[in-house]
Copies of this chain bind each other. A is one copy, B any other.
């Protein structure tokens, strides 16, 4: 009998945005894995976990995910992480994996769980939802995401500039992830669609160096990769 793998969404960064269920999942796990790498994502999940569990060196285990343009190197890194988790699972342990945001929304947890399943077919996998960056940015900026019959699109800018432009034309609310590194293109698209007025930019939400500003103030500035931009005309709470 292998153990259970639980993907725990720990929210965008503020340790208090962890759910009671997520806290219990972390507390009850035999081992708590946190991803470590060299992206902005690094350290966020670990920081939330440490804020609640303290050091507990025996239970907290760091999984290195190499960020590399070399696909082979990336895959090898995934394989290694999955093997580490699978080894603990095959001892019947309950293993939690902490991931920022929600474990079913653009999460590294999905890749990890699928790779682990390849090694341990039939292993039980659960997830605990976590607050997403778009929700935290809406809250911190006083933006109402949707009301009445309004529709929302959530997209990563990596899907393409045209995808963002189409969404800005057809939807009351558009949330753009992963566009911080190409912020000028994101804001250009917004300008052309006449959607700058109701746009807000957020980065490092709930952490030191938090930025929550009108997107217009970001014109000419650099963003960070994990930034969130919400487009919502007249969306002030």
Contacts and interface: CB of A to CB of B under 8 A. Distances in A.
A170 to B, nearest CB: 8
Contacts of A113: 237
A159 interface: yes
14 contacts: A16-B21, A104-B135, A104-B143, A104-B237, A106-B146, A125-B142, A126-B139, A129-B131, A129-B136, A148-B158, A150-B159, A151-B154, A152-B153, A153-B154
A222 B144 CA distance: 31
Nearest to A102: B135
How many copies, total? 2
A11 B19 contact: yes
Interface string A144-170: 111111111111101110010001000
Interface in A4-43: 11, 14-21, 23-24
A24 B16 CA distance: 9
B144 A149 contact: no
A29 to B, nearest CB: 15
